[in-house]
Structure 1
Amino acid sequence: MTDIKKKFNDFGLKPEIVKSLKHMGYIQPSPIQIGCIPYLLSGNDVLGMAQTGSGKTAAFALPLLNNINSNIKIPQVLVLSITRELAIQVAEAITKFSQYIKGLNTVALYGGQRYDIQLRALRKGPQIIVGTPGRLLDHLKRGTLDLSKLKGLVIDEADEMLRMGFIEDVENIIESIPASRQTALFSATMPNEIRRITKRFMKNPKEISIKSNIQTQPDINQSYWTACGRKIDALIRFLETEDFDAAIIFVRTKSATLEVANVLEKHGYNSAALNSDINQSVREQTLERLKDCRIDILIATDVAARGLDVERVSLVINYDIPLDVESYVHRIGRTGRAGRTGRALLFVENRERRLLRNIERSINTTITEVKLPNAEMLGQRRLAKFTEKVRKQLQNNDLDQYRRLLSKMHPEKNLDMETLAAVLLKIAQGERPLVLPKDNPCNFNRNKFYNRNENRYTRDLSHSRNKIEKHNYQNAHLNIKMNEMQLYRIEVGRNDGVEVRHIVGAIANEGSISSRCIGNIKLFNTHSTIELSRNIKCNVMQCFNRTRILNKPINMQLISDTQLNKGNINRQSNKHNRSFNSIERRSVCEKS
């Protein structure tokens, strides 16, 4: 499209929409908006390829709002969202865009909210429906949602819907709405399954492809730390030395959100966990608390935070490295949005170097390495913060009454005011001393570290000692497996397109199981086998009774221990497969 629009006024949008954009501070459209809005205004189907944070919501909402008849009280536009949070986020954005259009109503339909609330909202005749696939199908089956007059359909985050196994539900929904509708599909990537949907359900779509928003957002300062020692201790140090208004810490599993949140609370941070196990109303309250400054740190999984846009978020910490570039893009896209500056920090363990290199190659950017803040830096930081508190208190008008209290304090005879001030300073600082002992070099070191400049591994201990430790660890690891693991069969395999990461992600997610409790995984054509620890707290068969991988039931069954022992013997003779599974098992936990 050669006609480049530099302002929203140039698109020919309704005055009410332009007024709302001006009120919200929107001036210049983003590249995805420049590409999509003219085509959607003219009635074309659009296939948009862009990363999260690029402005996709406005790209499809503004032209569809422009073409809606607000006098007709029936659903005219349907937006499919991958998560409840994203559905709420999109619905709120559309409501703001349409705030000056009289009679226009938007409703979000998602799981976790009571049906009676949604039924009352549907009776009012909303023109725009934003919903998750599962709840939308429920309403269609109940007959409480009529999409027979639908004019526009938007499928947002299509690749994520495919990854999470919702694409079949999406196809069922599309088949129940008029074929004459206008369709817009947005996806960060374009796998074959998504391409098949575009050919089946879209009419000569206009393709708009925007490069990774990391490259178009120079205001995001990206760096990584080579994780060694306890990551949670390092996290506390980085939080102490970083300047941020609000922060999001990304972890892989739902259980990790609670563990990290508990530690941060003990260290005095106002933090909260966000995952799919938390009640929906509590999740909504958590986001509101983050927005209105009642909490400063959110610990979340990828899917739970998808679509989250809180203006005050200026720091993102990848506590667990994401397994693909798209997830990394989504995570750091929570900061540095709409021209704001942001900071992104990535924790990388030595065995995860390949994931870091993959991210750098994909975004065509070198992520700089940073060192862990040392004791001297922490002490300086704490002193600076305490000095700032003192400076603010000097401006108070009620200091005279405290001066009078000083004259009444006589803990010891001949106590000078300087010593008394030092004692009060120590008391006021509390459990975090201003003077810290020097770091012990062993606390944050491993036997092996990676020298990036030399592009090779070096060791700070002797080769023989490392070799002995490695041998002992492997033997202990195998003995634990032999005694504590049970072998299960699941009815998905290579023919279903399943990979090890899919199995680990589903098992870890559905059962809130640590990756340490997952043993060797073997893929066959029609089925797979997986080892699980006997010490798992949940009832395995009950936990995974309804689990699906790539939308296919796994039908888990327990296999005898005799076969398990045989599998361990085979695994000892196949070092390559064992190493591969170990990397996948420890690296992968796709969650919701």
Structure 2
Amino acid sequence: MSKTADSFMDLGLNHHIINVLHDIGYEKPLPIQTQCIPYLLAGYDVLGMAHTGSGKTAAFVLPLLHNVDINDSFSQGLIVTPTRELAIQIGRVCSDFTRYMNKINIVTLCGGQSYDIQLSALNKRPHIIVSTPGRLIDHLNRGTADLSKLKTLVIDEADEMLRMGFIEDIEHIIKNIPIKHQTALFSATLPMGIRRISYRFMNNPKEVYIHTDTNMCADIKQSYWLVRGIAKHEALMRFLETEDFEAAIVFVRTKCATLEISNILEKFGYNSAALNGDMNQAIRHQTLNRLRHGSLQILIATDVAARGLDVHRISLVINYDIPINSDAYIHRIGRTGRAGRVGKSLLFVEYKEFRILRNIERKINLNITEVRHPTVKTLLACRLAKFANKIECQLNTNNDLDIYRSLLPQIKPKKGLTIENLAAVLLKIAQGNRPLVLPPDPVIKNKSDYKIRMKNNYKNNCRIDNRTLKVRCKFKKISSDNMDIYHISVGRNDGVKIRHIIGMLSNKIDNIRCYGIGNIRLFSFHSIIELNKGLSNNKILTQLSHARILNKPINMKLLGSTSLRSSTYHNKKNFSENIYIR
């Protein structure tokens, strides 16, 4: 079978689909499409592995539409996806490709949608069903979905299905469809669990691998910023303000972080919104529509919530929290630079995360360029340029300036007012939360100085061992008069080390100084920390109420101000480590 094609017509697709592809502007098939479409048209099972943004959706949707017999009024094709957003997106793609296939019927089933609407659509005997596993099983149990004559099953994002625990649901679905059917399984990675699925439920599948290499990243300009000098959220705002982009996605690790970062950005006037799995489906749908239609500029999302998201406007991806592995990184940056479009990605990297960065570089066979955060001077120049551009636009487009000019004499402050002073005051008011006068950036001499002062929070007498990441500090007795005692519910038996506690404090408390940390003692099931008095007044307990160490909640509580050295916790048989940081 031919593995090369210069156009979609060479692949054997019918003229209805070819006409739609011509209207949309699809000219030459991508590698995954060139290799998979002929196999699927011929009825083979296909196991396809390709990175995100490689064109997998069209690779299985086009042959599925081609093979459907519109004269048979029963469900012939089923596409199963892990998330509601991806199901809705694929359903929309199917509808777009059936512009000239008037009699074909497609339904999308997912949570958050009225059952009445879905039941009405299923009663019309759709030719193709696009669904999430949970909602499809619900309809199967109710007897409202009929898969008894299904011809083709497509499982998209199979690796994410495995990670989210949907594999048992997939097995249940397969048991409800005919034994003789075509199966297409697509995945960005190929873990052993996916291999086992293919062995059990696929019939000698044709395997298609589109290997990840430098070519995959050719349309994405990648860079990373070493977290130092300023807080991450401040750096994020500087990059967003100085970068040229139409729409951006900021990836964070947790659902709570999506709301926190979104609130910070909104406070400073950025057009942003959060997207996570805990949000109401209607709100999630509304947020994605705003992003697609241009009324939303910045989306703060988790990996799962943005899975499979394809919005043409996205030209910038910022990894605020580093992904857990190289595959997750590829999934994230794949939200931009999709199907040949140009994009840009930025990765925030803390010193302790350098190993993950190097693994990512090896995976994509590319050296990611380091950049510095925009300086105050750069930020000021950008703000002045944008303000000058606004003035220029007003001068060129508004014809009612005479009305406002006539109002100037009515402004009568108590003191004398010149035009220059009036312009300066109005300029200050117009900038709001983004002033043009900023304090200078803190001075960091070089990388080695940063490594010595890990994450900007260690004093110069702390040093880092690159192999073990153990913190070794000079010991010095601290006066207990300025210390409060805190209790956390993790200890030695949880695998917690001193460095984990210090790292957590450094991450959660902005600009904490090492002289603010006193004794830290580890016990079997809990730990005790001394911190400077007054930190509790700065809402430290609120900041740390949801903190975790080694994925375990710490449940931090204030015990009082009694010195650890004179408290009941001072028992040499119970504690294993202590630290005094000058």
> What is the TM-score of this pair, normalised by structure 2?
0.80
> 430-439 vs 270-279, which deviates more?
430-439
Which moved further from structure 2: 460-469 or 379-388?
A: 460-469
Compute the displacement of 1:458 (Å).
Answer: 13
Q: Could you tell me which residue of structure 2 aligns to residue 119 of structure 1?
A: 119
Q: Which amino acid counterpart does residue 425 of structure 2 have in structure 1?
A: V
Alpha-carbon distance between aligned partners in 1 of 2:426 and 2:549, rounded to the nearest angstrom: 54
Deviations 1:238-272 (A, max 9, x none): 11111111111101110000001111110101211
8 Å CA contact retained: 2:545, 2:555: no
Pairwise CA distance, 1:274: 0.6
Residue 408 of structure 2: which of 399, 402, 406 is its match? 406
**Match of residue 354 from structure 2:** 353
Partner of residue 423, structure 2: 421
**Count of residues paired in the alignment:** 505
Closer, same or farther in 2 for the Cα pair 1:309/1:204, shift >3 Å?
Answer: same
- Which one has the largest radius of gyration? 2
Contact 1:53 1:213 in 2 (8 A): no
Match of 1:89 in 2: 89
Paired residue for 1:288? 289
The more displaced of 377-386 and 224-233 is 224-233
| 2:268–2:434 CA contact under 8 A, matched in 1 | no
**Post-superposition offset of 1:464:** 6.1
Flag the 1:483–1:42 CA change in 2: closer, same or farther, 3 A. same
Deviations, residues 557-576 of structure 1 (Å, cap 9, x unaligned):
xxxxxxxx99x969759xxx
Query: How far did 1:326 drift?
Result: 1.5
Distance in 2 separating the partners of 1:412 and 1:356: 60
Matched-pair identity in %: 56
Q: CA deviation at 1:12?
A: 2.0
Give SS of 1:44's match. coil
CA distance in 2, matches of 1:92, 1:268: 33
Q: How far 1:414 moved relative to its partner? A: 6.8
Deviations 1:29-74 (A, max 9, x none): 1110001011111111111110111100100110111010112221
Distance 1:98 1:514 in 2: 52
Distance 1:331 1:214, change over 3 A: farther
Tell me the distance in 1 between the aligned counterparts of 2:439 and 2:484: 39
Deviation for aligned residue 1:429? 2.4
Counting only pairs closer than 5 Å after superposition, residues 311-330 of structure 1 correspond to structure 2 as 311-330=312-331
Structure 1 contact 46–207 (Cα < 8 Å) conserved: yes
Given the alignment of the two structures, is residue 230 of structure 1 paired with residue 268 of structure 2, yes or no? no
Deviations 1:298-331 (A, max 9, x none): 1110001101111111111100000111111111
Q: Which whole-Å CA distance do the structure 2 matches of 1:433 and 1:284 have between them?
A: 35
Choose 291-300 or 402-411, whichever is displaced more: 402-411
> More deviation in 381-390 or 184-193?
184-193
RMSD: 3.5
SS in 2 for 1:388: helix
Asked if 2 retains the 8 angstrom alpha-carbon contact of 1:485 and 1:519, the reply is no
TM-superposed CA distance for 1:343, in Å, is 1.0
Which whole-Å CA distance do the structure 2 matches of 1:533 and 1:404 have between them?
63
**Residue equivalent to 1:28:** 28
**Residue equivalent to 1:533:** 554
What residue number does 2:46 align with?
46
Aligned residue in 2 for 1:397: 399
Which residue pairs with 1:256 in the alignment?
Answer: 257
**CA separation of 1:379/1:482 partners in 2, compared to 1, >3 Å: closer, same or farther?**
closer
**1:171 counterpart SS class:** helix
Distance change (3 Å), C-alpha of 1:514 and 1:424: closer
Q: Which amino acid aligns with 2:237?
A: I
Please state whether the residue corresponding to 2:311 is helix, strand or coil: coil
Preserved CA contact (<8 Å) 1:50 1:213: no
Equivalent residue of 2:108, what SS?
strand
1:426 Cα offset (Å): 2.5
- Where in structure 1 are there 5+ consecutive unaligned residues? 491-512, 522-530, 537-564, 574-592
Matched, 1:199 2:199: yes
Q: CA deviation at 1:369?
A: 0.5
User: 2:134 corresponds to which letter in structure 1?
Assistant: G
- The one-letter amino acid paired with 1:201 is F
Distance 1:137 1:445, change over 3 A: farther
Q: Deviations over 1:444-468 (max 9, x none)?
A: 99995359xxxx9999964468877
Partner letter of residue 246 of structure 1? Answer: A
Partner of 2:241: helix, strand, or coil?
Answer: helix
**In the alignment, residue 381 of structure 1 is paired with which amino acid?**
C
- Shift of residue 519, structure 1, vs aligned partner: 4.4
- CA 1:480/1:202 → structure 2, altered by over 3 Å: closer, same or farther? farther
Partners of 1:282 and 1:123 lie apart in 2 by 28
Tell me the residue number matched to 2:489.
Answer: 485
Instruction: Write the distance in 2 (CA, Å) between the matches of 1:569 and 1:166.
Output: 44
Q: What are the superposed Cα offsets for residues 391-424 of structure 1, whole Å, 9 maximum, x if unpaired? A: 1011121122223333444547874433333333
Structure 2 CA distance for partners of 1:150 and 1:364, relative to 1, 3 Å: same
Instruction: Pick closer, same or farther for the CA change 1:27–1:280 going to 2, 3 Å.
Output: same
Taking a change above 3 Å as real, the CA distance of residues 458 and 482 of structure 1, as seen in their structure-2 partners, is closer
Counterpart CA distance in 2 for 1:296 and 1:518 is 31
CA spacing shift, 1:264–1:414, aligned 2, 3 Å: closer
Distance 1:290 1:91 in 2: 18
Distance in 2, Cα, partners of 1:152 & 1:256: 40
Q: How does 1:159-558 map to 2 (within 5 A)?
A: 159-212=159-212, 215-228=215-228, 229-395=230-396, 396-411=398-413, 415-441=417-443, 449-450=450-451, 462-463=460-461, 483-485=487-489, 517-519=547-549, 532-534=553-555
Q: Give the distance between the partners of 1:438 and 1:122, measured in 2 at CA.
A: 63
Check whether the contact 2:50–2:210 (CA below 8 A) recurs between aligned residues: yes
1:498-543, CA deviations, whole angstroms, 9 ceiling, x for partnerless residues?
xxxxxxxxxxxxxxx989744468xxxxxxxxx543459xxxxxxx
User: What secondary structure, in the 3-state scheme, does the structure 1 residue paired with 2:450 have?
Assistant: strand
Contact kept, 8 Å, 1:223 with 1:369, in 2: the verdict is: yes
Structure 2 residue identity aligned to 1:320: D
| Aligned-partner Cα distance in 1 for 2:256–2:90 | 27
Please say if residues 448 and 460 of structure 1, whose CA atoms lie closer than 8 Å, have aligned partners that are also in contact: no
Shift of 1:379: 0.4
| Letter matched to residue 484 of structure 1 | I
Long gaps (5+) in structure 2: 465-470, 495-542, 558-569
Query: How far 1:187 moved relative to its partner?
Result: 1.2
TM-aligned CA deviation for residue 140 of structure 1: 1.1
- Residue in 1 aligned with 2:133? 133
Q: Could you tell me how far apart the structure 2 residues matched to 1:471 and 1:235 are?
A: 36
- Partners in 2 of 1:304 and 1:41 — Cα distance? 32
Q: In 1, Cα distance between the equivalents of 2:184 and 2:545?
A: 38
SS at structure 2 position matched to 1:449: helix
